[in-house]
Amino acid sequence: GPGVLTRTLLNAGVRVVALESNSAFLPKLQSLENSLDGQLQVIYGDFFRLDPLVTGTVKPPAVCSDKLFETMGVAAVPWKADVPVKIFGIFPQKKERNTLWRLLFILYECSSIYRYGRVELNVFISEKEYKVLTAKPGESRIYQALSVLWQAGCEIQLLHMEPWSSFVSNFQNRRLAVPRSTRLPNDHLCLVRLTPQQNLFTGGLKPTNSATCLTKPRSKLIDRLNSWSLDNADKLLKALEIPNNVETGNLYPEDYKRLFGALQNTNVFAESWFNDEILESIRNIN
């Protein structure tokens, strides 16, 4: 982009590691790096091509998180420690939904960037996706598995909303495709802070693939559980004080988190909780 985030961070006096995916921009950035006495470090790489699922040598601008964090001088910290790194960026609009799913996948697995602790994301995403991330139970048209998993896994804070027109003018001759939306407002890009919960892996929940119980918002949760051949689904819901007749689209994220933890401790749950469509999107993101 036009460098707004980089300039703002440098002016605030923080140390910045900039990943630049376009080699044509590297010389000017490297010149700036040389003039800032260590405040700026420039790396040829693309955050959205981090840890690609390929064999053999990873070719730039794709980059491996372990090499990246080693270059930055950042070591892994325990999950309950303070945030070790803050990442700022703008999501690519064409792969926005896939990117959100991929980040969820590595969050609940504690893999890639989350092997280093509760890495904080400060990212511009479209207004329509922000509405989905923060949707509430009962909003059947937009309350989705994506909403549940992000709300259960992270504190979500809206820091700023900026009209699309600001980005179109800043990009000048470059075309920035504004995603169309018929069901949700989408007049802004939203700067959103996603901070992983310190208590995410408590109450029985362990780093692993997470669940997509919410694929059919109007279906009964107990029917979904029974489809996984759980003999004691009704007893499980009773123990968790979850109503037997609750629909998947009316259960709160914190209740889903308790349910996920309990399922992991049943010793009979052997499903792949990410469905095939989501897994295929994750595989194709890079």
pLDDT in tens, 238-270: 999 999 999 988 999 999 989 888 887 776 555
Radius of gyration of the chain (CA): 20
Residue 226, pLDDT > 70, answer: yes
CA dist 128 and 122 (Å) reads 17
Residue 178 falls inside a structural domain: no
Residue with tokens 């692993």: 208
Instruction: Give the pLDDT score at 169.
Output: 55
Beta strand spans in 137-187 (E): 154-163
CA dist 63 and 43 (Å) reads 10
Q: Please, what is the average pLDDT of the chain?
A: 85
Of 48, 74, 100, the domain-final residue: 74
Q: What is the mean pLDDT of residues 180-195?
A: 86
Residue 110 falls inside a structural domain: no
Backbone angles phi and psi of 170, in degrees to 5? -70, -30
Q: How far is CA 11 from the centre of its chain?
A: 27
Residue 111, pLDDT > 50, answer: yes
Residue 163 falls inside a structural domain: no
Of 51, 74, 97, the domain-final residue: 74
Residue 123 falls inside a structural domain: no
Instruction: Give the pLDDT score at 176.
Output: 56
Residue 109, pLDDT > 70, answer: yes
Instruction: Give the pLDDT score at 229.
Output: 61
Q: What is the mean pLDDT of residues 75-90?
A: 96
Residue with tokens 């700067």: 191
Supply the range of the domain harboring residue 34: 1-74
CA dist 106 and 199 (Å) reads 17
Question: Which pLDDT tens digit goes with each residue over 32-73?
Answer: 999 999 999 999 999 999 998 877 888 999 999 999 999 999
- Check the annotation: does 20 bind a ligand: yes
Residue 201 falls inside a structural domain: no
Q: What is the mean pLDDT of residues 7-15?
A: 94
pLDDT band with cut points at 50, 70 and 90 for residue 225: confident
pLDDT band with cut points at 50, 70 and 90 for residue 173: very low
Residue 83 falls inside a structural domain: no
| CB-facing half-sphere around the CA of 196: CA atoms within 13 A | 32
- Check the annotation: does 127 bind a ligand: no
Question: Which pLDDT tens digit goes with each residue over 231-241?
Answer: 788 888 999 99
Domain at 220, CATH number: 1.10.8
Residue 31 falls inside a structural domain: yes
Of 14, 49, 74, the domain-final residue: 74
pTM: 0.86
CA dist 90 to 159, 167, 242, Å?
14, 11, 38
CA dist 194 and 152 (Å) reads 11
How many domains does the chain divide into?
A: 2
Instruction: Give the pLDDT score at 286.
Output: 47
pLDDT band with cut points at 50, 70 and 90 for residue 272: very low
Q: Determine how β-strand 188-196 pairs with β-strand 86-90.
A: unpaired
- Check the annotation: does 46 bind a ligand: yes
Residue 268 falls inside a structural domain: yes
